[in-house]
Chains A and B, each alone.
Chain A
Amino acid sequence: MMDAGLPLLEVTDLATHFHTQRGLLRAVDGVSFSVRRGQTLGIVGESGSGKSALARTIIRILSKRHTTTTGRITFEGRDLLTVSEPDMRDIRGRDIAMVFQDPTSSLNPVKQVGVQIEEVLARHLGLRGRAAQTRAIELLTSVGMPLPQERLHQYPHQLSGGMRQRVAIAIALACEPKLLIADEPTTALDVTIQAQILDLLHRRQKAHHMAMILISHDLGVVAGYTDTVAVMYAGQIVEQASTRSLFRNCRMPYTAALMRSAPNLSDPPHTRLRAITGRPPDMVLPPPGCRFEPRCDDATDICRNRRPALSASDADGTHRYACWHPVASPGASA
């Protein structure tokens, strides 16, 4: 299932702080993980937990004026945080590509679909004119777009949501990137389309032996398509494990709560979902101890005052969680 050797991407102690009117907003606060070639890492968390900020930090598209980033992002042995901007531009779109949450807003409304695909081909592969067009048609075909030839001259508003996301995926796959970051690629789509898009991403990933970071706020989405999962809460990773291990025995109360709040296919119809009560903390002034403490049923004094570190739960150290009072180990998920 996994390649041996060095990971393709290794993120170490990464922090991204937005400068806001109220002060520093710690959107990403000390995150570490790694992704191997051909592997899929799922990143799951509620809205506002910092998933998009993390993704945008990795490809460095946040405004330098308004953010501070610290830590290390090692991609193929190079630290992306120290690479020059022109070199980074060569990496973006060619080695690391990204698919955004909402295809309606992530495609330029005043440019034809074909142009938007062809410009990335021109930028990185030097393909222009006929060659670029042929390749664009190939790409559209490979993402399952009906009538690809005609699509080239259409504008995004003439396509359905699912079609637009296929175009966005075609753009991302144009240069056969080594790493694809898909930031909630299905959240804005109809339920029926969601599975199609995820299957498509999965198939293309296998075909190109590409690594993928699949971001979602829904554990259920991630379950079938990932090798490992990192659960994010308030800018930090609170639990990290192989997908199988996480679903078998999650240790962190927040993960458990996420699992309870996800619709389960085996539930009888009309089972009420148990939403997590309360709201994520203010990331300008996060709680000093465990960040989940204000919403956690198991919280005690120590949770309030001291921040739990990520600690291993199994022998080989691949399942890690940050909690003072972990949920009972075997078969914890209800």
Chain B
Amino acid sequence: MNALADDPGHETASPVGATIPMRVRDRLGLRFWLPAAWITMVVVLAATASLLPLPSPIETDFTALSNWPDRAHWFGTDQLGRDILSRAIFGARISLTVGLLAPALGLGIGMLLGMTAGYFRGRVEIVIGAAMDAVMAFPGILVVLAVTAYVGASVPLLVILLGVLTVPTFMRVARANTLVFAQHDFVLAARAMGATHWRVLSLELLPNVMIPILIYALLVVSRIIVVEGVLSFLGLSLPAPWPTWGNMIADGQVELATLPYIPFIPAALMFLTVLSINLIGERLRARTDLRGSVL
């Protein structure tokens, strides 16, 4: 319970909440470093997967069908005798690729639009805002389904679609922060000294808008990992036999009653990864004092 006691993630709690010494709030603490260690491990394993001494993630081994976890296969094997550890590590690649690239794309476009809207205001802001509203009028998952139905499932397509769908939220965060910082003295001073718009935007505003938006991006990363999970669970991500956490869960779910470890191992990995990213994001958010209310 102690770890929860100094939980500033819910700063709205009360202005006169428990008296927390400032020092404790300043340390990042175990709630940051444990998740960070987990994420680092997942990233390193996924990146070096092909160098590691792992059995093939796709070759079936009929001598080892549905083995529960043991010394030879730490995470066991699935119904086709494939090593689950190996599949999980290769599957992490997809989650991470989509989870990082799609928000990166959305962040790039969203920040450009958001800063433009927040800095120039007026008609530009209205047009950009309306365009974003139009994107948001649709439940995003439907767009992804419809397009994949047409073009066929593939990872690059997923990155592009999910990236575009994150643009509106990034745009909002960028615009809100630009609005705040555009009123600050250093920006007004820079403009008074005759700095061009481009200079003000790139040198004065960008560094300040970047930090809150990067922290916000963590939240989006965890959400996109979940969405990718849903889509690959539905078979709309990387085609079989290549593993993703989502399709591993989907395949394993068939024999949930007798072989529960098959779906629950990738499920647990995904859960821990998403939880870790959320915890890190929450910690950083508390540190930089970015409140949800900016959105």
Contacts and interface: CB of A to CB of B under 8 A. Distances in A.
A21 B19 contact: yes
A126 interface: no
Contacts of B19: 19-21, 23
Chain A contact surface mostly? strand
A23 B19 CA distance: 7
Contacts of B16: 18-21, 66
Nearest to A25: B16
Nearest to B14: A66
Interface in A20-64: 20-21, 23
Contacts of B14: 66
Interface residues of B, number: 5
B20 interface: yes
Contacts of A23: 19
A66 B17 CA distance: 7
Contacts of A20: 16, 19
Residue with the highest number of chain A CB atoms closer than 10 Å, among B14, B16, B19: B16
Nearest to B25: A21
Interface string B19-52: 1100000000000000000000000000000000
Contacts of B20: 21
Q: Give the secondary structure class of B's interface.
A: loop
A239 B16 CA distance: 31
A21 B19 CA distance: 5
Q: Which one of A19, A21, A23 has the highest number of Cβ atoms from chain B below 10 Å of its Cβ?
A: A21
B197 to A, nearest CB: 41
Contacts of A19: 16, 19
A320 B66 CA distance: 90
A21 B17 CA distance: 7
A47 B89 CA distance: 63
B15 to A, nearest CB: 8
A64 to B, nearest CB: 12
Interface in B60-118: none
A23 B16 CA distance: 10
Nearest to A21: B19
Contacts of B17: 21
A213 B17 CA distance: 31
Nearest to A23: B19
Interface string A52-83: 00000000000000100000000000000000
A50 to B, nearest CB: 15
A114 to B, nearest CB: 33
A313 to B, nearest CB: 38
B88 to A, nearest CB: 44
A18 B17 CA distance: 10
A168 B205 CA distance: 48
A23 B18 CA distance: 10
Contacts of A21: 16-17, 19-20
A20 to B, nearest CB: 5
12 contacts: A18-B16, A19-B16, A19-B19, A20-B16, A20-B19, A21-B16, A21-B17, A21-B19, A21-B20, A23-B19, A66-B14, A66-B16
Interface of A: 18-21, 23, 66
Given A19-B19, A21-B16, A23-B19, 9 more contacts: A18-B16, A19-B16, A20-B16, A20-B19, A21-B17, A21-B19, A21-B20, A66-B14, A66-B16
| 9 A-B pairs closest in CB distance | A66-B16, A20-B16, A21-B19, A18-B16, A19-B16, A19-B19, A21-B20, A66-B14, A23-B19
